[in-house]
Amino acid sequence: MELEQSPSPIYVPTSVHLSKLLDHADGSRVTVGWLMEELGERSFGLTLFLMALLAFIPGVAMVSSVLIAWPAIQMILGHDAAVLPKLIARREIRVDRLTRAIRFAAPKLKWVERLIRPRWPTPFQSTKRLTGVVMLLLGLTMVSPVPFGQLMPALVVMLLALAYLEKDGVALMVALIAAVVSIAVTTATVWGTMAIIDWFDPAIQRP
């Protein structure tokens, strides 16, 4: 006797999910916590993408590093979705502003979805904690003293975030490999910079 298999759920692209998100909004304002609940399992990807985007703003790399650590630790602990601190979750957003932001972002996401799409979903379950550790390390490397040293790890975090948004296991594996390269390059760069400073230091101290 063969057992009937339940049909797999139809995947909805993130751009479509965002466009329909505000259909469930009640009133002229929504809280950040409500937004995260509506995003569900996509909340990790969107949160990390936004936090990595902040790293491109001059002088914000330190803040971005701390913010990336928050969802990264939750991934290490095995949470199903990102949960923000209550102070942030209670903040309200006007629905009209959120609508404009979504209308701006959705077409860009549609273009990305042509390249990054649902493939090979198994790694998301088996590598979730590993991905959290890698995210945490990438966040730490963003505060390196090397000028523009935060750009490479921020780009890798964005790729990891997009892989989670679109459930693309292939993109996830590529991003994890890129993360190892990024961490190695940042470590070598910082080590080399410190070695050069130590080499010049005696000459600087001479009268």
**Tens place of pLDDT for every residue, the chain, 207 residues?**
444 444 445 677 777 877 777 777 777 888 888 887 887 777 888 888 877 877 777 777 777 788 888 888 888 888 877 887 788 778 888 888 878 877 877 787 788 888 888 887 666 667 778 888 888 888 888 876 667 778 888 889 988 888 888 888 888 889 889 999 988 888 887 676 666 666 665 544 444
Both structure tokens of 49:
């993408």
How far is residue 142's CA from residue 62's CA, in Å, rounded to a whole number?
7
DSSP state of 13: -
- With the CA atoms of 51, 48, 165 and 99 taken in that order, what torsion angle do they form, in degrees rounded to the nearest 10? -40
Per the rule left: phi > 0, alpha: psi between -120 and 50, beta: everything else, 11 is beta
Contact (Cβ atoms closer than 8 angstroms) between residue 55 and residue 150 = yes
Q: How far is CA 109 from CA 14, 18, 19, in A?
A: 7, 10, 11
DSSP E strands: which ranges in 11-157? 29-31, 92-94
How far is residue 188's CA from residue 146's CA, in Å, rounded to a whole number?
11
pTM: 0.74
Burial class (CB in 10 A: 0-12, 13-18, 19+), 89: middle
Residue 193 has a pLDDT of 65
Owner of token pair 């759920």: 9
Residue 36 has a pLDDT of 79
Q: How far is CA 13 from CA 42, 60, 148, 162, 169, in A?
A: 11, 30, 33, 12, 15
Apex CA 31: angle with CA 112 and CA 76, to 5°?
60
